[in-house]
Amino acid sequence: MRTLAVRAVVVASAYLATALAVFAVVVILRARVSPDTLRAVLGFYFISVLAAGLEPATVKASVLASGHAPGNLVGVLAVSALKGVAVAPVLMLVWWFADPRTPIPVLLLSPLPAVAGFWATDLRVVLDLRAKHGAAVWLKQGSLAGGFALLAVMVGTGVPLFWAALVSSAVRLAPPVLIGLAHGRGRLELGGFLRDPRWPDLAAVSAVAAIGGSIDRVLALRFLSASTYAGYLIVYEVFSRFWLIPYLVAPILFARLAAGDDSRALISRVWFATSMTGALFTCAVTGLALSTPALIARLLGVSFGPPVIAFAAAVAVGALTQLRIAQMQGAGAVRRALFVTALGTVVAGMAFFAGVRALGLPGLYWAWLVKSVIEFVAAMAGGRDGRRA
């Protein structure tokens, strides 16, 4: 329990650092750069977050096969880099759709945040399995926050976006390389990792979940003004810090279930704590929205009201769904998890598009609630471990 408490503090501090970085960057750059430049910077951050949220599944698949973390970190990094380069054209297309005004040279940098995100994700699993939870969290969240802050500082002082994005991405790539060289062993034997039949299903679940969880920002970046999008991004970053609970527990659940350990007591405690915390979180947002709407509007640049309360409830429900997905994956029900996330993505695409086109920013908030509730119901429709349809 003490280990879990320490991990919670580390995760919370890392999440808080990322949220503060986004808030500071938006506030400072609003006053220093043009709306188009602000939009481009936030677009690069969005694509970096999207890449970091994808699961290359190189390590997770190996764990399901062997029950322990792979020792060949050189091979892990090589395979993850190949996967990052392969997915980069898709990320570039998403980026271009969200912001067609992004310069082509900047779009062509897509492989860098893709590889940086994949390396951080795979190494995070390795470090978690080795009980180095603090290093695991800061490798991923610290990389995002630090890279974004460096990007903003460079752009804010007049450095062209291309060079700022190049340098910040190079800085993010350095820690995984150092970890791989210092702690890894093995050779470039990629075949075993690539032939493992488990990673495509695990990666597909992650990809579909990332798409479903990112459609809102893609459409917001495309259809809302730069200032409104910046305000929405702050709210999203602050509210999504609530997901540190599944972010904290999901790797532990996955590892224990994959190893065949009895996790029923842990699952019960986590579900109860998440449910209660989610209710308190929604009530707190409701209180702020009703008591100080003008102050929040001046601070964040967007108004608070019932749509934001709906978004808070959606975030709380989404945390429970993430726990359920982790249970499914740890129990080996990866295709059931893929079905649930695919359904959520389809609903998200329709709801977010209809919401933003009909109501603008408030429509995005309401669409989040629709997506989260439907996805949660689908996740809970299975059996005890989610295996039954």
Per-residue pLDDT reduced to its tens digit, 147-178? 888 999 999 899 999 999 999 999 999 888 88
- Euclidean distance between CA atoms 1 and 7, whole angstroms: 10
Residue 69 has pLDDT above 70, yes or no: no
Task: For 263, list phi and psi in degrees, rounded to 5.
Answer: -120, 15
Q: Are residues 217 and 156 in the same domain?
A: no
Closest CA to 115 of 123, 127, 104, 126: 123
Tokens of 21: 């970085």
Q: Are residues 57 and 158 in the same domain?
A: yes
Q: Are residues 157 and 295 in the same domain?
A: no
Residue that is last in its domain, among 176, 196, 216:
196
Q: Are residues 60 and 87 in the same domain?
A: yes
Condensed to tens digits (0 to 9), the pLDDT of residues 176-210 reads 888 777 765 555 555 566 666 667 767 777 777 77
Comparison of pLDDT for 311 and 143, the residue scoring more: 311
Q: What is the pLDDT of residue 388?
A: 42
Residue 80 has pLDDT above 90, yes or no: no
Residue that is last in its domain, among 156, 177, 196:
196
Q: Are residues 233 and 367 in the same domain?
A: yes
Domain range for 141: 1-196
Total structural domains within the chain: 2
In whole numbers, what is the pLDDT of the chain averaged over residues?
A: 82
Q: What is the pLDDT of residue 368?
A: 94
Q: Are residues 224 and 291 in the same domain?
A: yes
Q: Are residues 213 and 74 in the same domain?
A: no
User: What is the pTM assigned to this prediction?
Assistant: 0.75
Q: Are residues 139 and 6 in the same domain?
A: yes
Q: Are residues 219 and 132 in the same domain?
A: no
Closest CA to 62 of 179, 197, 187, 181: 197
Angle subtended by helix axes 293-300 and 264-291, to nearest 10 = 100
Residue that is last in its domain, among 146, 178, 196:
196
Q: Are residues 177 and 216 in the same domain?
A: no
- Euclidean distance between CA atoms 363 and 241, whole angstroms: 21
- Euclidean distance between CA atoms 355 and 361, whole angstroms: 8
Listed in sequence order, the DSSP H helices in the chain are 2-32, 35-53, 58-66, 73-98, 104-107, 111-129, 133-137, 143-156, 161-183, 191-195, 198-223, 226-239, 244-258, 264-291, 293-300, 306-330, 334-359, 361-380
Listed in sequence order, the DSSP H helices in 67-160 are 73-98, 104-107, 111-129, 133-137, 143-156
Q: Are residues 189 and 203 in the same domain?
A: no
Q: Are residues 88 and 188 in the same domain?
A: yes
Q: Of the ranges 6-10, 111-115, 339-343, which is most confident?
A: 111-115
Q: What is the pLDDT of residue 27?
A: 81
Whole-number percent of the chain with pLDDT over 70: 84
